[in-house]
């Protein structure tokens, strides 16, 4: 029955309409009836070895020679169809069938496929048109020109089916990403002249109506605890507050990035377990050229309270246990509270932070409190800190201003007296990285300034300023095929206390450096000032910097999730600007782009201490 089926089907065995028969043939087990050897240029050979339908029938046991010959008669068309997707339309194909007797033979017959693909087809012309009521509007002229300018298949480029499909899709995505989410391809044609190996391409995009953001509409999924027949889910959190968190630019032109940014802000707020935003394009009426469409947010609200338990370790502070409690709506206040208890050998702390929902301008009230025991140089410091102020988080910029109370008490030989202070502060942080969790390009800059007075042991005015900067600079052309795409990470930080000599400022307001994120090769906060007893203590001035070369690791020419780094760090702390003594560390390390964020392992040599030190760190923050 199998033999008769193969003989009767003939070429139909290899047709697309017989794909189910081919799949069934591939499932047959047993000794192969023949082997297939493809001899062709690498790109053609790899394609045929993976997709040639002749391969599927090789595993059929006990096929006769005339049955295999019938398969070869149909294989020619299949080969031409396959290599045509690579842009080869004038190939020379030869198929040979030979008997392979002998015990060492893998099969009784062998098929040799010889393919000379001929010259590849190149693009002769590419025509990109736009049709429909909004096709020629002046407002979208830049978008049309951008699509034409960034078109991937230009005259002289090699034609392939994948490149043609990719070029069409890219242009469509550009239209759908800005103003025209319902854009589609009206017509497309790749006219191939097999004699001249030239391709004339044409495509016609229909943008459709221009869309503008309408109001945000929250659609709540029923929570398990609320499931009642016919009952509508009641919002746990203020819907107007959620809209202010999303900051959807209502009334402005539709942009996919703006929609995704609003979705990310809601997801990061902590009020939802899942968030998905879509533009309601069904609001468009036939003939409309401009549509203000609502945005529907499918959300599943988070529980009012959540406990998070964690364990970890750091080369700076050692092993630790942490317990976090989140309350999304504090009774009587309505603010969101995040409290933390951290237990470790060097830096135990207890903290809480409460934040209100933002107002229409994006500003939100916040307050925080922290009790901490930390090692500051050669002293143990017990400290307390209270803050109250306002904060505003935008797409790239965070701003805050607040009043801060500090108290610190050092323990150790001839420790300075306990001190306290109150200051008014303003902070600004700008982040312009291509990825917020694992960036490969961009920059960030932050600064903070405060002024106030000490309270104990005496009242004296003082000021404090600090700044930090990080930039990632790509080396070479990142778009060049096979390029390593290495980069330089340049970092700098500094700070200063402005006060009269002898003023007792809380130690937590002073500066120390050294450790995983500052000067590698030295212990955490081990770079400071020596006092009269020769003990290390915090100082009034701090500078640090780093140059790091980051190079991706490739395997068989393919980029992996690992990177290799070489770096030089340096930093100094002093009580006077002219007394800065720099501590330098050099080293090398690896980075792994894990699913939960970058993992870093560095081995650094401290030139001052003449010792090696291992530094481990997870995640990226700025």
CATH of the domain at 131: 3.10.20.310
DSSP helix/strand/coil, 423: strand
pLDDT digits (tens, 9 = 90+) for 347-396: 899 999 999 999 999 999 999 999 999 888 889 999 999 999 999 998 88
Q: What is the pLDDT of residue 532?
A: 84
**Could you tell me if residue 14 is inside a domain?**
yes
**Buried b / exposed e along 217-240 (16+ C-beta atoms within 10 A):** ebebeeeeeeeeeeeeeeebbeee
Higher model confidence: residue 223 or residue 16? 223
Structure-token pair, residue 615? 């530094």
Is 314 inside a domain boundary? no
pLDDT class of 19 with cuts at 50, 70, 90: very low
pLDDT in the model for residue 286: 58
Q: Do residues 45 and 168 share a domain?
A: no
Asked whether the predicted pLDDT for residue 291 surpasses 90, the reply is no
Two tokens at 579?
């007394």
Q: Please identify, among 116, 131, 163, the residue that sits at the C-terminal boundary of a domain.
A: 116
Same domain, 442 and 581: yes
- My answer on whether 141 and 126 are in the same domain is yes
Do 54 and 190 reside in the same domain of the chain?
A: no
- Contacts (Cβ under 8 Å, ≥6 apart) of 501: none
Domain containing 166: what range? 122-206
Query: How do 336-344 and 349-355 pair as beta strands?
Result: antiparallel
With a cut of 80, say whether residue 265 has pLDDT above it. Answer: yes
Asked if residue 339 is part of any domain, the answer here is: no
Output the pLDDT for position 1: 30
Q: Does 529 lie in the same domain as 559?
A: yes
pLDDT at 255 over 90: yes
* pLDDT tens per residue, range 296-347: 999 999 999 999 998 877 766 678 899 999 999 999 999 999 999 999 877 8
Are residues 519 and 463 both part of a single domain?
yes
Which of 589, 608, 601 has its CA nearest to residue 527? 608
Examine the domain organization and report whether 532 and 598 are in the same domain. yes
Give the 3-state DSSP-derived string for 124-188, with helices as H, strands as E and coil as C: EEEEEEECCCCCCCHHHHHHHHHHHHCCCCCCCCECCHHHHHHHHHHHHHHHHHECCCCCEEEEE
Residues 280 and 419 in one domain: no
Domain stops at, among 57, 86, 116:
116
Reported as a single tens digit per residue, the pLDDT across 407-451 is: 999 998 888 899 999 999 999 999 999 888 888 899 999 999 999
Mean of all residue pLDDT scores within the chain: 87
Pairing mode, if any, of strands 397-411 and 305-314?
Answer: unpaired
Rounded mean pLDDT of 588-606?
A: 91
Please check whether residues 243 and 127 belong to one and the same domain.
no
Cβ(516)–Cβ(524) under 8 Å? yes
Residue 88 lies in a domain: yes
Establish if 364 belongs to a structural domain: no
The CATH number for 551's domain is 2.40.160.50
Looking at the fold, whether 466 and 574 belong to one and the same domain comes out as yes
Residue 15 has a pLDDT of 39
Q: Which residue has the tokens 């990061």?
A: 268
**Which among 81, 116, 151 is the end of a domain?**
116
pLDDT exceeds 50 at position 184: yes
Phi, psi of 206 (to 5 degrees): -110, 105
pLDDT for the residue numbered 345: 79
Confidence label for 115 from pLDDT (cuts 50, 70 and 90): very high
Cross-strand partners of 272: 301
Q: Which CB contacts under 8 angstroms, 24+ apart, belong to 443-447?
A: 443/469, 443/470, 443/471, 443/472, 444/469, 444/470, 444/471, 444/622, 445/469, 445/470, 446/622
- Within-domain flag for 496: yes
Residue 130: its pLDDT value, please?
Answer: 93
Question: Which pLDDT belongs to residue 187?
Answer: 94
pLDDT band, residue 481 (cuts 50/70/90): very low
Residue 287 has pLDDT above 90, yes or no: no
Q: How many domains does one find in the chain?
A: 4
Does residue 333 lie within any of the structural domains?
no
What share of the chain has pLDDT > 90, as a percent? 62
Check whether residue 234 and residue 142 sit in a common domain. Answer: no
The one-character DSSP state at 415 is P
Query: 466 lies in a domain?
Result: yes
In terms of domains, do 106 and 46 share one? yes
Q: How many residues does the chain have?
A: 622
């Amino acid at each position: 029955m199998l033999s008769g089926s193969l003989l009767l089907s003939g070429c139909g065995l290899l047709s697309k309409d017989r794909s189910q028969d081919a799949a069934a043939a591939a499932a047959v087990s047993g000794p192969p009836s023949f082997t297939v050897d493809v001899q062709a240029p690498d790109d053609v050979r790899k394609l045929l070895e993976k997709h040639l339908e002749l391969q599927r029938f090789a595993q059929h046991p006990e096929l006769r020679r005339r049955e295999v010959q019938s398969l070869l008669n149909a294989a020619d068309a299949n080969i031409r169809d396959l290599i045509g997707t690579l842009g080869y339309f004038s190939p020379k194909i030869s198929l040979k069938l030979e008997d392979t007797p002998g015990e060492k033979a893998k099969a009784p017959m062998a098929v040799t496929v010889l393919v000379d693909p001929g010259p590849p087809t190149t693009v002769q012309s590419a025509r990109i048109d736009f049709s429909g009521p909004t096709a020629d509007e002046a407002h979208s002229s830049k978008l049309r020109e951008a699509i034409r300018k960034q078109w991937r298949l230009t005259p002289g480029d090699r034609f392939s089916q994948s490149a043609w499909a990719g070029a069409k899709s890219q242009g469509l995505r550009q239209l759908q990403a800005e103003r025209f989410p319902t854009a589609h391809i009206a017509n497309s044609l790749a006219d191939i002249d097999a004699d001249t190996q030239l391709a004339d391409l044409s495509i016609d995009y229909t943008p459709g109506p221009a869309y503008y953001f309408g109001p945000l509409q929250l659609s709540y999924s029923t929570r398990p605890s609320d499931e009642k027949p016919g009952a509508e889910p009641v919002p746990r959190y203020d819907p107007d507050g959620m809209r202010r968190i999303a900051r959807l630019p209502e009334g402005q032109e539709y942009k996919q990035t703006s929609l995704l940014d609003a979705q990310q802000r809601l997801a990061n707020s902590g009020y939802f377990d899942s968030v998905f935003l879509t533009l309601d394009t069904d609001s468009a009426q036939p003939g409309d050229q401009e549509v203000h469409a609502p945005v529907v947010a499918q959300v599943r609200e988070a529980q009012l309270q959540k406990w998070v338990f964690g364990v970890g370790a750091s080369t700076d502070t050692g092993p630790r246990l942490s317990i976090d409690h989140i309350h999304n709506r504090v009774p009587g206040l309505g603010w969101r509270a995040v409290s933390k208890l951290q237990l470790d050998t060097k830096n135990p702390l207890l903290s809480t932070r409460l934040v209100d929902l933002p107002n229409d301008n994006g500003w939100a009230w916040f307050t925080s409190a922290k009790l901490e025991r930390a090692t500051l140089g050669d002293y143990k410091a017990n400290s307390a800190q209270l803050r109250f102020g306002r904060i505003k988080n935008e797409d790239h910029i965070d701003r805050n201003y607040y009043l801060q109370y500090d108290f610190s008490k050092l323990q150790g030989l001839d420790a300075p007296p306990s001190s306290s202070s109150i200051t008014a502060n303003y902070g600004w942080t700008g982040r312009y990285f291509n990825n917020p969790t694992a960036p490969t390009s961009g920059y960030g800059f932050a600064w903070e300034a405060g002024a106030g007075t000490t309270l104990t042991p005496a009242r004296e005015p003082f000021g404090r300023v600090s700044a930090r900067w990080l930039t990632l600079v790509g080396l070479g052309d990142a778009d060049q095929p096979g390029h390593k795409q290495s980069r330089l990470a340049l970092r700098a930080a500094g700070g200063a206390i402005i006060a009269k000599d002898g003023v007792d400022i809380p130690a937590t307001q002073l500066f120390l450096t050294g450790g995983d994120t500052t000067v590698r090769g030295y212990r955490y906060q081990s770079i400071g000032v020596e006092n009269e007893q020769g003990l290390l203590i915090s100082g009034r001035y701090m500078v640090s910097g780093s140059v790091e070369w980051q190079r991706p690791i490739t395997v068989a020419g393919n980029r992996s999730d690992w990177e290799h780094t070489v770096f030089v760090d340096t930093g100094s702390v002093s009580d006077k600007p002219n007394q800065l003594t720099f501590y330098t560390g050099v080293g090398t390390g690896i980075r792994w782009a894990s699913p939960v964020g970058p993992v870093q392992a560095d081995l650094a040599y401290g030139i001052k201490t003449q010792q090696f030190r291992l530094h481990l760190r997870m995640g990226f923050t700025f």
